[in-house]
Amino acid sequence: MTLRGDCLSAVNSAAEFLLVANNPEHSESGGGHGAKGVDFQRWWAVLRMVQLEQASEPDFLLLFESVQDVAELDSSTAPTRARVYQVKKKDSGTWSWSVLTGTRTPKLPSKTSKAASTTTKTPTFQKVAESTLGKLYFSLSAFNALPVEGVFLSNAGCDFPLANGGSAATTLPCSLADLAPVHTQLLTDAFASLSTGGAAPDLSQIKLQKVAIHPDHLNAPAIAAALELLNERSPEHASQAAAFVDSLLMKISSLGRHTDTCATFEDLVKERGFSRSAFTAALASLQTVPDRLELLGIWLKQLQDEGMDFRTVTAIRVAATRVQRERLVGGTDMFHEIEKFCDDWAEAHSWTTTLRPHMEAALTALKAQFSGYRDDDLMARYALRAITKCVDQN
């Protein structure tokens, strides 16, 4: 995260951030976006944490619904810069100018005449304060000590013309200063109406950013990023990428619900923040969780000792690796249906000191329900689910 600006003392910066965060004019209430919109924000936040860790940031802190939707600071104790996000989901299409700015869409100058039309209506700014970009700028204008920039982030582009003739809908990320001159002038005037008497609005402070998160598969990018991180840091736990990001989501889900005024910056971090130290602690906790494929190896050895032939054992091992890959990308409806069947059957049937009779009985039940699958595939799926149930109970 690189921002311009002279960094004043960390104490002043932290105190200023606390002051802004305690002002309800600068916070967002997640419930107003609907459950799916809040889920979008949270899954993006999980993805962002993984990205920051991949970038080897020495420290970071995400604060939820403290200043706008999410605030990202470079330190959980002594911040020197910040980024404030408005994070919005859109199911289809692009974001329009009027929706994001609260102003009427300006007309671009005619190709045959560069002169402004004398009939152009004087713009009104009554709706700017309640618009998405208006709120974002207003929060930025509250900071003096802490260098800060704003980001409007969405899965959809913005239908804004750029000065170079392109469109912000297809050219992202970009800043509001990159827009066509008539649009930048209108935004400058609109934002100036929110904080009279201050410096002229700096449109380069606000970025437009598009993120590739599909509304129907919110967790997929976070899982992919976590898989890449785990393959680099802890390959033996890469199969747990989905479980890892799920645990992160659970940890941050309650953070935005704390709306009480905080007495100190430390209280703010405790109530609404998730830091790099919390992230690395979650990452370290994976080391204490047994790897499913490693445990499967122990089960397969026992099955072989109990008389199962080597070729079948090998086929189950190969199938298990394939099943784990399928899990990492989310799995199909049938994938989850088979897993549920395995869970229910394992709970309903007792275990003995020998493993093979139990596994063969499970296979018989699975084949009756899912006849289109190979025996080794069904046995691999059952073994992995049974192992997971054992691990979860411990």
Q: What is the pLDDT of residues 238-284, one digit of tens each?
A: 878 888 898 899 899 888 666 678 999 999 999 999 999 999 998 88
Report the mean per-residue pLDDT for the chain. 87
Q: Please indicate whether residue 258 or residue 154 has the higher confidence score (pLDDT).
A: 154
Query: How much is the average pLDDT of 210-228?
Result: 93
Output the pLDDT for position 243. 82
Contact 101, 160 (CB under 8 A): no
Output the pLDDT for position 299. 93
394 CB neighbour count, 10 Å cutoff: 6
Output the pLDDT for position 245. 92
- At residue 33 the predicted structure's pLDDT band, cuts being 50, 70 and 90, is very low
**Across the chain, how many H-helices and E-strands are there?**
14, 7
Output the pLDDT for position 195. 77
DSSP string, 167-207: BTTTS-SEEGGGB-HHHHHHHHHHHHTTSTTSPPP-GGGEE
Output the pLDDT for position 110. 64
Output the pLDDT for position 292. 75
Residue 390 structure tokens: 């054992």
Strands 148-154 and 82-88: parallel
Tell me the percentage of the chain whose pLDDT exceeds 90: 63
CA distance 338 to 335: 5
DSSP state, residue 213: -
What ranges do the domains of the chain cover? 10-108+117-285, 292-393
- At residue 42 the predicted structure's pLDDT band, cuts being 50, 70 and 90, is very high
Output the pLDDT for position 391. 63
Minimum mean pLDDT among 8-17, 209-218, 356-365: which range?
A: 8-17
SS3 323: helix
Query: How much is the average pLDDT of 223-232?
Result: 93
Query: How much is the average pLDDT of 114-134?
Result: 75
Q: In the beta sheet, which residues pair with residue 153?
A: 87, 209
DSSP string, 24-91: GGGB--GGGG-HHHHHHHHHHHHHHHHHHHHTT-S--EEEESSSBSEEEES-SSS-S-EEEEEEE--S
pLDDT exceeds cutoff 80 at 212? yes
- At residue 32 the predicted structure's pLDDT band, cuts being 50, 70 and 90, is very low
Can you point out the beta strands (E) in the chain? 61-64, 70-73, 82-88, 148-154, 174-175, 206-210, 273-275
Cβ-based neighbours of 328, under 8 Å, separated by 6 or more: 223, 227, 238, 239, 241, 242
Contact 203, 188 (CB under 8 A): yes
Output the pLDDT for position 257. 65
Output the pLDDT for position 118. 43
pLDDT in tens, 337-368: 999 999 999 999 988 889 999 999 999 999 99
Output the pLDDT for position 35. 64
Burial class (CB in 10 A: 0-12, 13-18, 19+), 352: exposed
pLDDT in tens, 297-331: 999 999 999 999 999 999 999 999 888 777 755 67
Contact 83, 51 (CB under 8 A): no
Q: In the beta sheet, which residues pair with residue 152?
A: 86, 208
Name which of 129, 71, 134, 30 is nearest 273 in CA terms.
Answer: 71
pLDDT in tens, 53-104: 999 999 999 999 899 999 999 999 999 999 999 999 999 999 999 999 999 9
Output the pLDDT for position 31. 43
Query: How much is the average pLDDT of 232-241?
Result: 82
Minimum mean pLDDT among 26-40, 185-199, 210-224: which range?
A: 26-40
* Owner of token pair 């990428």: 241
CA distance 144 to 12: 10
